[in-house]
Amino acid sequence: MEQVKNKQIVLKHYVNGFPKESHMLINDSATINLKLPEGSNAVLVKNLYLSCDPYMRGRMSESKESYVDSFTPGSPITGYGVAKVIDSGHSNFKKGDLVWGGTGWEEYSIINAPETLFKIEHTDVPLSYYTGILGMPGMTAYAGFYEICAPEKGEYVFVSAASGAVGQLVGQFAKLSGCYVVGSAGTKEKVDLLKNKFGYDEAFNYKEEQDLDATLKRYFPNGIDIYFENVGGKMLEAVLSNMRVNGRISACGMISQYNLEQGDGVRNLFHIITKSIRMQGFIVTQYYHLYPKYMEMIIPLIKQGKICYIEDTVEELESAPAALVGLFSGRNVGKQVVVVARE
């Protein structure tokens, strides 16, 4: 019996409005046995990298038939992460394996449904990438852009929250597909990244624009074929006015709406009819069967330097609450990762 300390980040209670660090606490008193009980089918992991993702906001609220369960107040927050197997009761995993998937915001976790974990095969790339480009956000960009938008060469693509964990990839995928792509973000630094690092043809800071409809008309005088929707609300309204006939909207997220009591009303949905627009929401887990196909595409692109990925990394589990909260004010630049341990 090797009992060790197991620091945890715990949700204190359900959240209304913007989440704050004070909604979470650090539990320093928990311990864990680093050996699974005899006969367990679970996997015990040491958490290395934890992922901060906007969808987690929904889990901080009391569930209203959402697609993911709410967090349990008093228990550690759960989310995606990269981890190392310490002990395994499941035949697919053995001690020393690296995995990514659902884990806890703590130093060590027991994964009771290890079949949901992905075993990490490629270790000649940064391991943290499995919280981003090689993990859930990567699959989100891939499924949402290629599967849902079905891009064609020469099409006009707009991406909101374009420097985020997903958006930075969508822009690069759009360029690889021969599209013209414009992104929006909330700081000058991010706008510069979009243009200089991710290859966006144009980019703008939405916070500096008075009239988003006019802004989009300026960047898309011929209209938008594909909108990769990450923000919702007023941006969606402006986009609808600028969509082209047979346009496609991949509805991935609506981060501008998550902390509002009452969502912004979108008043011009009739464009969906008059322009024969297809708006498709999706949950990335429905596309995980395509993960091997995605890996075949993305690993060579990374190794050949044809695609890049920016992470915003904070050290120590204690930094996780601030990192998560920061997503909703756009403090992160690129994929927000928390390093719990490097090995």
Interaction of residue 275 with a copy of itself, rule CB under 8 A: yes
User: Shortest gap between Cβ of 280 and a copy of itself (angstroms)?
Assistant: 5
DSSP state, residue 317: G
Number of residues that bind a copy of itself (CB under 8 A): 35
Burial 38-65 (b: 16+ CB within 10 A, else e): eeeebbbbbbbbbbbbbbbbbbbbeeee
Measured CA to CA, the distance from residue 213 to residue 94 in angstroms comes to 54
Q: Is 277 in the site for a copy of itself (CB under 8 A)?
A: yes
Give 265-271's long-range contacts (Cβ < 8 A, gap of 24+): 266/233, 266/236, 266/237, 266/240, 267/237, 268/237, 268/240, 268/241, 269/240, 271/240, 271/241, 271/243
18 binds a copy of itself per the rule CB under 8 A: no
Residue ranges in 67-126 that form contacts with a copy of itself under rule CB under 8 A? 67
- Give residues 180-239 in contact with a copy of itself (rule: CB under 8 A): 232, 236
54 touches a copy of itself (CB under 8 A) = no
Binding mask 126-145 for a copy of itself (x = CB under 8 A): --------------------
Region of 70 (left: φ > 0; alpha: ψ -120 to 50; beta: rest) is beta
Could you say which of 96, 270, 304, 342 contacts a copy of itself (CB under 8 A)? 270
Write the CB contacts of 212 (distance below 8 Å, at least 6 apart in sequence).
Answer: 206, 234, 235, 237, 238
Closest CB to a copy of itself among 113 and 260? 260
Is the Cβ of residue 192 or residue 264 nearer to a copy of itself in the bound state?
264
Helices 188-196 and 167-176 cross at an angle (nearest 10°) of 30
Contact 103, 308 (CB under 8 A): no
Q: Does 289 bind a copy of itself (CB under 8 A)?
A: no
- Binding of a copy of itself by 266 (CB under 8 A): yes
Nearer to a copy of itself, 32 or 236 (CB): 236
Decide: is 331 part of the binding site for a copy of itself (CB under 8 A): no
Q: Which of 58, 73, 89, 102 binds a copy of itself (CB under 8 A)?
A: 58
Q: Which of 70, 257, 259, 313 binds a copy of itself (CB under 8 A)?
A: 257
Applying CB under 8 A, which residues contact a copy of itself?
Answer: 58, 66-67, 232, 236, 245, 251-254, 257-258, 262-283, 286
